[in-house]
Chain A
């Protein structure tokens, strides 16, 4: 894993000192809130409904055990004993007090972490495939490129005041687990006809109030051209992007208003100018970074105990069937730890749970932990013979829920339980859907299904790309939930289609149940997933299930 250089260390420490001084000046009245607000946002500190919220960056979702323990300690010392893992692979603390924030940032710096650029109109945390470096289907580990982008974009003087925030996602696999096509820039690794590795570069994706799937601006970019090309995209956006209207300021609107052909031409032209300015220092740096991400020394040992346990223990078997993914080393597995126990808040882990995950990573997982955009935690490298012990230890702290990829593995933004921007609650809707389908014992029969819930149009819960998307709105002073169907965040990305009028808070769970029952009725076999059935049969059978055969539900 990447270790801070002296430069990184000095930079982060100087920011802690600078922000500590700014906090003191706010508390003694030297700074007004108008002056302080942009300064705190640059350091990840928001003021939400009930308290401050500190968003800490987890670069490309990668953590080591000491970092996870530091997060646990911060949650315990300065917060209410838990942290919230987000859809951008970050962690948020919901209850810090302003005078404590300098100490929190200092504790974070001790483990090479910070909250810089987790807010503001800059390049945000670069997100990556959470199975990076472990997945069997991977061409190359994308994290060295993500780290290169992190270093390049951190405090980049030209890109601190972009028209709007800017999000980059990267995957090294043809199977896109990083939702690259819904990002400002999506990078998907591939090989050309000559067998060389490069990137498919996609630009202009995004969710929010105007959801758009990114278009391919460059079909094959040699890896050595990555930084100058990304800089060319940013540079064109920084010039063209609208600063007059924040709702039209993201690059997806710039692409839409400029036209794909014209913006591609401008990016390529700018790239031609930029390319000679990159004299190879970036490639030397990349080579150093690559060494830091060398694969662990995989253990050679028999896996018989896994097979025996798998046969003998049905609880372990159910967990193994849903929560394990194929590792590139056949003796290993990728473990997804579900942070979605039925009835719990999606993405919330207690300090105790964080410490157990850190211990397991250290003991059985080559000291590697990942946070997924689906708000789960991954142990990317576990030898199969260790899986029974890992499962048993997880079960002790309520982390052995066997539901990854199923209906209760729901993405939900914090919604109006915390967020000042929200128009309705998300978390209790997720909790109630999970509990309802647990009660019905239908979850495993329904099979792969992604429900994603956002509490406002900004779509932090990715509802547009949920197989079932739920959007919470304020309709005349009452919470109202709009449903979309058929969204997909994979390499076949698509935006979900609205079913029709929304549903009141107490109607939304029964509405989801009607959709699921309709699916079970129309599917051609148990192998036909919800998304496949939707793509085959269209929205009509689901509309009928929601609103009756004649579609007669009063507009909400």
Chain B
């Protein structure tokens, strides 16, 4: 059996549309590094169900591949890396909204 690739649960905020991540203590964070890194497939499915149930807060939750980094989970694919920052043509989105954090 192939080894399970660790995941985070991510979605978009219903009101703002901003990218959000599910934390281990059941909050939605704007920061990828605060997400819960899920290393077990069954647990991942449960967390996704938990996220999908919050339909008045979030849109389109899904599991995204991630890995452990020095400051918490990091994305492994470039699409997810872009989602942690915002567009590359302007300093808009997370890269400036949370630059002070």
| Contacts of B1-31 to chain A: CB distance below 8 A | 12, 14-19
* Cross-chain contact B78 with A479 (CB below 8 angstroms): yes
Which residue, B79, B82, B87, has most C-beta atoms of chain A within 10 A? B87
Residue of A nearest to B15 (CB): A98
B88: Cβ under 8 A from any A Cβ: yes
CA distance A98 to B59 in the complex (A): 12
Contact of B14 among A98, A418, A474 (CB under 8 A): A98
* Cross-chain contact B56 with A29 (CB below 8 angstroms): yes
A431: Cβ under 8 A from any B Cβ: yes
CA distance A32 to B57 in the complex (A): 11
Residue of B nearest to A95 (CB): B92
* Cross-chain contact B92 with A33 (CB below 8 angstroms): no
* Cross-chain contact B19 with A50 (CB below 8 angstroms): yes
CA distance A289 to B17 in the complex (A): 40
A interface footprint on B72-101 (CB within 8 Å = 1, 0 otherwise) = 000011110011001111101110000000
What 5 A-B pairs are tightest by C-beta distance, nearest first?
A417-B87, A51-B17, A29-B56, A52-B17, A427-B89
* Cross-chain contact B55 with A50 (CB below 8 angstroms): no
Residue of B nearest to A343 (CB): B89
Residue of B nearest to A34 (CB): B55
* Cross-chain contact B19 with A478 (CB below 8 angstroms): no
Residue of A nearest to B59 (CB): A33
Shortest CB distance A336–B (Å): 22
Contact of A99 among B15, B60, B83, B93 (CB under 8 A): B15
CA distance A431 to B90 in the complex (A): 12
List A contacts of B92 (CB < 8 A): 50, 80, 95
A345: Cβ under 8 A from any B Cβ: yes
CA distance A95 to B12 in the complex (A): 13
CA distance A479 to B81 in the complex (A): 13
* Cross-chain contact B59 with A345 (CB below 8 angstroms): no
Known: A29-B56, A417-B82. A477 touches B77 (CB 8 A): yes
| Contacts of B30-84 to chain A: CB distance below 8 A | 55-56, 59-60, 76-79, 82-83
Shortest CB distance A506–B (Å): 13
* Cross-chain contact A47 with B60 (CB below 8 angstroms): yes
Known: A417-B87, A425-B88, A427-B89. A49 touches B82 (CB 8 A): yes
* Cross-chain contact A97 with B87 (CB below 8 angstroms): no
Shortest CB distance A329–B (Å): 39
Contact of B89 among A97, A345, A478 (CB under 8 A): A345
Known: A33-B60, A47-B60. A418 touches B55 (CB 8 A): no
Which residue, A27, A49, A94, A478, has most C-beta atoms of chain B within 10 A? A49
CA distance A474 to B81 in the complex (A): 14
Known: A27-B15, A52-B17. A416 touches B56 (CB 8 A): no
B interface footprint on A77-92 (CB within 8 Å = 1, 0 otherwise) = 0001000000000000
CA distance A270 to B25 in the complex (A): 63
Known: A29-B56, A33-B60. A50 touches B86 (CB 8 A): yes
Shortest CB distance A455–B (Å): 11
CA distance A417 to B90 in the complex (A): 9
List A contacts of B77 (CB < 8 A): 477
List A contacts of B19 (CB < 8 A): 49-50
Using CB atoms and an 8 Å cutoff, list the residues of chain B in contact with chain A: 12, 14-19, 55-56, 59-60, 76-79, 82-83, 86-90, 92-94
Residue of B nearest to A477 (CB): B77
List B contacts of A427 (CB < 8 A): 87-89
A428: Cβ under 8 A from any B Cβ: yes
Using CB atoms and an 8 Å cutoff, list the residues of chain A in contact with chain B: 26-29, 32-33, 47-52, 80, 94-95, 97-99, 345, 348, 416-418, 425, 427-428, 431, 474, 477-479
Residue of A nearest to B82 (CB): A416
CA distance A431 to B88 in the complex (A): 11
* Cross-chain contact A418 with B78 (CB below 8 angstroms): no
List A contacts of B94 (CB < 8 A): 50
CA distance A51 to B94 in the complex (A): 11
List B contacts of A26 (CB < 8 A): 14
Shortest CB distance A52–B (Å): 4
Contact of B78 among A80, A95, A478 (CB under 8 A): A478
Known: A33-B59, A33-B60, A97-B15. A477 touches B88 (CB 8 A): no
CA distance A47 to B59 in the complex (A): 9
15 contacting pairs across A/B (C-beta < 8 A): A47-B12, A49-B82, A50-B17, A50-B94, A51-B17, A97-B15, A98-B17, A348-B89, A416-B78, A416-B79, A418-B87, A427-B88, A427-B89, A431-B89, A474-B78
CA distance A27 to B13 in the complex (A): 11
List A contacts of B16 (CB < 8 A): 51, 97-98
Known: A29-B55, A479-B78. A47 touches B87 (CB 8 A): no
Contact of B18 among A51, A99, A348, A418 (CB under 8 A): A51
* Cross-chain contact A49 with B83 (CB below 8 angstroms): yes
Which residue, B18, B86, B89, has most C-beta atoms of chain A within 10 A? B89
* Cross-chain contact B89 with A417 (CB below 8 angstroms): yes
* Cross-chain contact B90 with A428 (CB below 8 angstroms): no
CA distance A345 to B16 in the complex (A): 24
CA distance A311 to B92 in the complex (A): 43
Shortest CB distance A441–B (Å): 24
Contact of A428 among B15, B83, B88, B93 (CB under 8 A): B88
Residue of B nearest to A348 (CB): B89
CA distance A478 to B60 in the complex (A): 24
Known: A33-B60, A478-B78. A50 touches B18 (CB 8 A): yes
CA distance A285 to B28 in the complex (A): 55
Shortest CB distance B2–A (Å): 17
* Cross-chain contact A27 with B14 (CB below 8 angstroms): yes
Shortest CB distance B100–A (Å): 18
Shortest CB distance B95–A (Å): 10
CA distance A9 to B19 in the complex (A): 37
Which residue, A52, A80, A428, has most C-beta atoms of chain B within 10 A? A52
Question: Knowing that A50-B92, A97-B17 are A-B contacts, what are 11 other residue pairs whose CB atoms are under 8 Å apart, sorted by A's residue number?
Answer: A28-B56, A33-B60, A47-B17, A80-B90, A97-B15, A98-B14, A348-B89, A416-B79, A417-B88, A418-B87, A478-B78
